[in-house]
Amino acid sequence: MRLSQFQALMTDEFGPAYAQVISRDLVLGALGDQTAEAALAAGEDPKVVWLALCEANHVPRERWAGKPQAKKPTPS
């Protein structure tokens, strides 16, 4: 997962303001008692960080790959 994908998932799931707060402030045991920001800065895979955040925030498993997108209507 690229960092840009991680950021898009964070914003989509938590909203821009809260995504910044939990990335900066939430200490995650799954990441060695680091914040997401610190883990990413230390070179951790963004996917590992994303999954740790999902688990810690009780994001339903069906959204761990991102929220389902609404289907666009097909022209008739």
Closest CA to 13 of 61, 50, 66: 66
Helix axes of 46-56 and 3-14: crossing angle, nearest 10 degrees: 20
The pLDDT of residue 65? 85
Structural domain boundaries of the chain?
3-63
The pLDDT of residue 69? 67
Q: What is the pLDDT of residues 6-60, one digit of tens each?
A: 999 999 999 999 999 999 999 999 999 999 999 999 999 999 999 999 999 999 9
The pLDDT of residue 13? 93
| 35 φ, ψ (degrees, to nearest 5) | -80, 165
The pLDDT of residue 36? 97
